[in-house]
Amino acid sequence: MEKIRDLSSKKAAVIFTKSSCCMCHSIKTLFYELGASPAIHELDKDPEGREMERALRALGSSNPAVPAIFVGGRYIGSAKDIISLHVDGSLKQMLKDAKAIWL
């Protein structure tokens, strides 16, 4: 859990992913299109990936635990949560408030 906390606070937007996850790719693309440059942590390429995945589930991440998105050091949710925020127009403002984008 400490590693998740540490990594999620180092940048305004952080996405925990797996390299083979199509929803992870879609969320990363959405963030890039909104002008954000999130830190990406691929759990399947990290020696502590399984432990971090368990920690994400303990935070409330769904199954599968990725993508798990943090903005401003706060856990926002999974792909479903991010898509909902984007559709209702609040994701971009959230990213602006966290200084993840400058538009």
Q: What is the pLDDT of residues 86-100, one digit of tens each?
A: 999 999 999 999 999
Instruction: With respect to residue 10, please indicate whether it lies within any of the assigned structural domains.
Output: yes
What is the total residue count of the chain? 103
pLDDT digits over 25-71, tens only? 999 999 999 999 999 999 999 999 999 999 999 988 877 889 999 99
Provide the residue type at 90 as one letter. Answer: S
Q: How far apart are CA 100 and CA 81, in angstroms?
A: 18
Instruction: With respect to residue 31, please indicate whether it lies within any of the assigned structural domains.
Output: yes
Backbone angles phi, psi at 42, to 5 degrees: -90, 110
Q: Which residue has the tokens 């994701």?
A: 91
Tokens of 40: 């990406």
Strand order of the sheet with strand 39-42?
39-42, 13-17, 68-71, 74-77
How confident is the model at residue 1, as a pLDDT? 76
How confident is the model at residue 62, as a pLDDT? 75
Instruction: With respect to residue 74, please indicate whether it lies within any of the assigned structural domains.
Output: yes
Instruction: With respect to residue 103, please indicate whether it lies within any of the assigned structural domains.
Output: no
How confident is the model at residue 103, as a pLDDT? 63
How confident is the model at residue 60, as a pLDDT? 83
Overall domain count for the chain: 1
How confident is the model at residue 64, as a pLDDT? 83
Report the CATH number at residue 1: 3.40.30.10
Q: How far apart are CA 18 and CA 40, in angstroms?
A: 10
Residue-range definition of the domain harbouring residue 92: 1-98
* C-alpha separations of 49 from 9, 32, 53 in Å: 18, 24, 6
Residue 28's CB: how many other CB atoms inside 10 A?
18
